[in-house]
Amino acid sequence: MFTDFFYLLRARGLDVSPGEWLTLQGALDKGLAKDGLSAFYNLCRCILACDESQYDRLDQAFYEYFKGIERAEDLPGRFLEWLRAPKPARAFPDAEYEAFVKDYGQLMRMFEERKKEQKERHDGGAWWIGTGGASPFGHSGAGGRELAVRAGGDGAGGGAVRVAGERHYKDFRQDKQLDIRTFQGAFRKLRQLSARVGADRTELDLDGTVRETSERAGLLSLVFEKPRKNTVKLLVLIDSGGSMYPFTQMTGRLFAAVSAANHFKDLKFYYYHNCVYKKLYLSPECRRGEWVDTEHVLKALGADYKAIFVGDGSMAAYELMQKEGAGFFGTPNELSGYEWLVRFKRHFRRLAWFNPIAEGRWAKARGAETIGIIGGLLPMYPLTIGGLEAGIKSLLATRG
């Protein structure tokens, strides 16, 4: 079954073993693909790609083999038939665009309702699953909205969910800009040493030892001094999932480097998705229930903590600016993500946002609007060697 796909995967550099391939066949026999290409892709990624570094190879082979079929909710066969041979897009007045929803949960509920209610093909409209229209469901239309579900075909506005064709994981293989040692070197500069008081002389004073030994004609004389400790308390908040997937290795290295450091007086790690909201997660999986109240964190940590955000800042505008912007993840939010960021800025004296997207692409990247808004509120630096040095310098500066 799909034997040629197996050989294509291996030819494209994915080291799929016979055992893994048989496991995939067993999963298909059990119906785990649910007769949908999207589910089959996820199965392949779970079984055949051992780690993130192989995702891009899988994507390329998958896209090549299945001729660029793109991800959407599984559709009945009759829908796929209707969506073939799309009608050309027509122009739409602004009033028709106002019918688009701005909440992801509502969008998906509407999509499920359309699948149940629709009885025939539709083209050029703004309601049903079709082609050449302004509906957020379908393809080849003129909608171009951020919230959309592509159902077959090629995208027009770039707002729909895609799988392999755009190679979301290519940076996993190319990201070698920052390794753990580089991060460690950068964060060693994040120090504010305490005065040498109230401690025993237990730390070797190298300069004093050399001076004293010289004065004694080369007779070794060890000099000790009171140790000084780093007084910096650090809060690190890392964006996880979604558009941050291509940067997982980079953020993983940052976490490893900072968590291994033993020179901070205190260190706290939390995770968020897209933006901070009412809850902060305890692990990068951002599982429901495995969280703490953001309000509690703000009350528990003093204003002297250095707060670092790590994220691309790329999201739909409503996710940043509207209340309930994170409703898709099951967390009620009476405040918008932007309002939470304002609260962080007011609470902590020193903050910095490190963006893994190259600085030259901030104004052109997907999510440029929200990147610009966040950059206007918080000092934003690229997650590069130079960006880290500049950001850490700002964290240590006296507030002006």
Q: Of residues 187 and 320, which shows the higher confidence score?
A: 320
Domains and CATH numbers, the chain: 3-65 (no CATH), 77-150 (no CATH), 175-193+229-396 (3.40.50)
Question: What was the pLDDT predicted at 287?
Answer: 85
* Nearest-angstrom CA–CA distance, 33 and 125: 31
- The rounded distance, in Å, linking the Cα atoms of 205 and 18 is 61
Within a 10 A sphere around the Cβ of 368, how many other Cβ atoms?
A: 15
Phi, psi (5° rounding) for residue 249? -65, -40
CB atoms within 10 A of CB 225: 15
Whether residue 196 is predicted with pLDDT greater than 70 in this model: the reply is no
Give the burial string for 125-135 (b: 16+ CB within 10 Å, else e): bbbbbbbbbbb
Lowest mean pLDDT among 80-89, 213-222, 364-373: 80-89
pLDDT category of residue 35 using cuts at 50, 70 and 90: low
- Using one digit for the tens of pLDDT, what is the confidence trace for 136-169? 655 555 444 444 554 555 444 333 333 344 455 5
% pLDDT > 90, the chain? 28
Q: What is the pLDDT of residues 329-363, one digit of tens each?
A: 556 678 999 999 999 999 999 999 999 998 999 99
pLDDT recorded at residue 323? 84
Check: CB of residue 329 under 8 Å from CB of residue 382: no
Angle at CA of residue 267, ends 243 and 286, nearest 5°: 35
Angle between helices 3-11 and 55-65 (to 10 degrees): 130
Distance CA(246)–CA(76), nearest Å, equals 32
Choice among 91-95, 110-114, 187-191, 380-384 with the minimum mean pLDDT = 91-95
